[in-house]
Chain A
């Protein structure tokens, strides 16, 4: 049992309509409470928009705008500029989007906001696919994963969004997981103190999309972290990589076994995925050693 280190003052209300057992709602609780009440938000169409809720309700105590799928970062930029014009520059602008809204259709707007270093906190809930539309692939879907649009398994690599954002030299990028909520809270707290574009990518095992048991979302996220599939780290100013651990990750087998989307894989396919993870881990170690 892990004690979660964050203060809950009721920023996230009951009544969201995420699938029962979804770890995205859990992550939202920590994020909203850590961001606090002096904030405004924009959310793009995705599972997290459903978690914020339908008209006329809202699960958040801060005001949200439900924006368009491709514009989250542009909307957030507009909000920050309006607040600045109104002398309320201290208000946090929180941007919530899925991986489709971040890696794919919203990448242009995000790149533009990042290049201007707009003072926004951008959270990407990475469930590795278009889950709100029933589970199709996105450019965040990993190699070999079965989705609604890749029934025989995805044939491309997961896009490395972190290195793309790092190339923009934004002041802060982090990965986070619902399996490590204190770490998530700490990263949000840190991001709040930094001016400029902050991007946090939170891994969200999708129950129907990944074929994960209703009670296994957090466990699956933990296995993703521990196996090095989704390592936890931070990147400052695009160059300083800080890994939470440099210990050799566990094999990915236990992680794969949690999910139906990898059930069709042969031993060779599984080994190929393991090799990818190992290569990515070596690269991360190299990046972290670089500075």
Chain B
């Protein structure tokens, strides 16, 4: 973990996060006392074997699910004990999501999907910013299409645009390129990396593709619900090597 201390501002933090599913015989400890902070304006990747708790960690960090024990802090707000309504608002206003699949509402057009969170909040989106983002992800001529009329890569770009348009404190992406071909994956990763570099957008991304993780500023390794490694400024080679040691 970065020890920069006072100079660092955290977009999101999980402190002593533990998540237990089931009980008794069937008990699964998906997160086991994880403490981690996601630095503002950084692109963080999370890697680890399947079942290591990556999804659980980002879901809890993004307030989609509650921890069994520990605290979650988004920006300067302690989200641990917020009620459902406040938590929902917090998600709506401060967090953007990109999932592996089923990102979009099938009945809405691309444009409507992108502005949906603003709609929920009863706000008009910032038109100039909207145009900028749409052009950046190259969706200008696809805005009035339904998800079913878009390719997988285009759908994922809509999801990225939706996340970016709200200028959230943090964008959480759980294997956003997992279902895409390499070209489309590269595009999506590009957008995320540029968002961090150009607008200072905080991004947290789960992936098990070292090529994807190499684009990040920092990579966390998870195993059995614990953070086992933390790399700043990773290269592909370094990552492959780490993965090799972890798998052993």
A joins B in a complex: no
Chain A: residues with CB nearer than 8 A to chain B? none
